[in-house]
Structure 1
């Protein structure tokens, strides 16, 4: 076994090894590639004579106490542990009670063990890479097959939340209140970083710079628009919170593309349409949106409705088509804020991703953006002008 493993992790790996009836384990570190700025990643192999190696994957906390205190969202390690050990069990019960077909059940990595030690929280899950799944290239625009498959997953995830709120309103209310962004801290953080984000957006804009400046005459307007993604609503929807290609693994089986969602560290009660926008604007480029944007918006509601029906919930009662249209209108300009604030980090080169260690601060999440960001951001501006929104 590795000598680099901390004591609490060593105890956790030993416990898992015993539970799975293996003799020993080996830990190898995985270099951070920018797809996870919240965790230290390790591959864990369980070994025993006469048995095939069992491949697992460990995620350990790296955020400092300073970042945790200033962060407007709940501690991401607590959230993910809560998701796997509490919320997901309720979702599984719903799928079982409603006899949801296996092919329509939400797929996530299997949990093997966890440790709650403060500043060293660890989660051990199945290694999906060993099962043929691959990371997505976050710097490339997705195609329609990938996007439509991903949107079906978003719809399934949101439908489970809506169904949970119907089957057990009190339990859902407690979960929702626990998984809620601290709007006071969020407002303070956005007020601090919005001028810097907006200045970067202005300097990156090309032929539509004047239109952008006119739309955002002050940082406060940008600040309020971005709040639309994080703010809690009364729609009974728990979102993934970071649904982008680098948090999806894919493989092709029997000619069919399969996607699995990972990293449930930012699950919270917020805006379902905001999450849809987040996925579209972090995963696609200008030409793709020109061809498929409105089709994807329609597809999301079709998939949400189908998922709710499988969960024996009336879509018109919990999230009607009219409600969805209203949310689309409210979020129409959100792509601008997502592009300006989040694309610099999503598209950043590996060597530009900041290390969120003891000296890091929440403002370190704000990056200037590379050449690819400028290209993508100007593509967003082009789309908005073509759609008559900017």
Structure 2
């Protein structure tokens, strides 16, 4: 078993020494993700020095060797380092160059350092909860206020990506090769086939009987997990895991703001993938009945408004017809997400898999009542919209 706290202390000593936080008193407290994190052990760190006090949040890799390839752990940790050490800095430079007002800027958690040693990866960032940010209950469907805050953040992220491509084309060309690795890797067919059969069986068991044939036809032609992440036009940096568990919220002067806190799956793709990921993993059928079309329109309007702030013309960079076409092509992704990802999003803490001890097949959980309701709603919508 990984001694995560010892690994963290070694990284803290190195990074804090380099930043001149000497002398210091360091207090480390492990915290639980409540079943929302499968690659890292989480810690809150208080650093007291004569000149200031730091409130930090740390992630330490704990994933076992057997799972590293299956879960693309090397890619996950490498990607997050690229985001904090390169992409976030360019985004900040662009926001300064174009005089984006402070209350309209995209925020990343402040980054304090990392370790890239395989099997002992660490990321140190600010503890946003210490400044009033809170998580959203992942078992609840998002409401309109939290949906708008999340989508507004997403629009800023994508607009900055388009600005990156315009102002630093050669740099961005390198990032355009960042692929979504989960589902792309070669895995043992003998191991994966029965696992997929179990996952699909759980999904089929919770839908209405008259929907099973339609759903089975989808499964028979279902592409790999990364198929919907490939851009066939102008690529945009996508978050890749943009769900409520990876977003924190804070209300100030009656306005709710959002900030993403996990950047392990950033890749070059197309914008609707993130949008569909957020909506179908974070809402129920009742929310979508009232707000789906409205939220899609809010995203595109917000994206256009932000693009103009970076001297980008939406009709040239990402016209509405292209967005609508991408949405239509990407919507089947909702069923794949509901089948393969939603069960882990909604897993109860006391039954959550342990990435230090368990193998990948033990991550498959029997459908719960809340999963059955949510997934059945996804299928209802996708059949009604003639998506499947």
Find 1:205's aligned residue among 207, 219, 230. Answer: 207
**Residues 209-248 of structure 1: matches in 2 within 5 Å?**
209-217=209-217, 219-223=219-223, 226-248=225-247
Aligned to 2:39: 38
SS in 2 for 1:177: coil
CA-to-partner distance for each residue in 1:153-210, whole Å, 9 max, x for gaps?
111111111221122222112122245427642787897354332211111112xx33
User: Compared with structure 1, are the counterparts of its residues 136 and 379 closer, same or farther at alpha carbon in structure 2 (3 Å cutoff)?
Assistant: same
Cα pair 2:84 2:111 within 8 Å, conserved: yes
Query: How far 1:117 moved relative to its partner?
Result: 1.8
User: Compared with structure 1, are the counterparts of its residues 73 and 156 closer, same or farther at alpha carbon in structure 2 (3 Å cutoff)?
Assistant: farther
Cα pair 1:109 1:262 within 8 Å, conserved: yes
Query: How far 1:52 moved relative to its partner?
Result: 5.8
Q: Are residue 381 (structure 1) and residue 379 (structure 2) matched?
A: yes
Distance 2:356 2:101 in 1: 43
Distance 1:213 1:197 in 2: 16
SS in 1 for 2:5: coil
Distance 1:187 1:357 in 2: 20
TM-score, normalised relative to structure 2: 0.90
User: Compared with structure 1, are the counterparts of its residues 329 and 94 closer, same or farther at alpha carbon in structure 2 (3 Å cutoff)?
Assistant: same
Q: CA RMSD in A?
A: 2.5
Query: How far 1:388 moved relative to its partner?
Result: 4.9
Aligned to 2:142: 142
Query: How far 1:7 moved relative to its partner?
Result: 5.2
Distance 1:128 1:307 in 2: 25
Distance 2:305 2:73 in 1: 31
Cα pair 1:191 1:223 within 8 Å, conserved: no
Query: How far 1:108 moved relative to its partner?
Result: 1.6
SS in 2 for 1:249: strand
Count residues in correspondence.
383
Cα pair 1:68 1:75 within 8 Å, conserved: no
SS in 2 for 1:46: strand
Query: How far 1:249 moved relative to its partner?
Result: 0.9
Distance 1:220 1:111 in 2: 44
Distance 1:223 1:187 in 2: 15
Q: Are residue 80 (structure 1) and residue 60 (structure 2) matched?
A: no
Distance 2:165 2:73 in 1: 22
Distance 2:278 2:248 in 1: 14
Aligned to 1:367: 365
* Stretch of structure 1 that moved more, 367-376 or 65-74: 65-74
Aligned to 2:254: 255
Aligned to 2:269: 270
Distance 1:215 1:10 in 2: 50
TM-score, normalised relative to structure 1: 0.90
User: Compared with structure 1, are the counterparts of its residues 345 and 71 closer, same or farther at alpha carbon in structure 2 (3 Å cutoff)?
Assistant: closer
Query: Unaligned stretches of 5+ in structure 2?
Result: none
SS in 1 for 2:248: strand
Query: Unaligned stretches of 5+ in structure 1?
Result: none
User: Compared with structure 1, are the counterparts of its residues 15 and 336 closer, same or farther at alpha carbon in structure 2 (3 Å cutoff)?
Assistant: closer
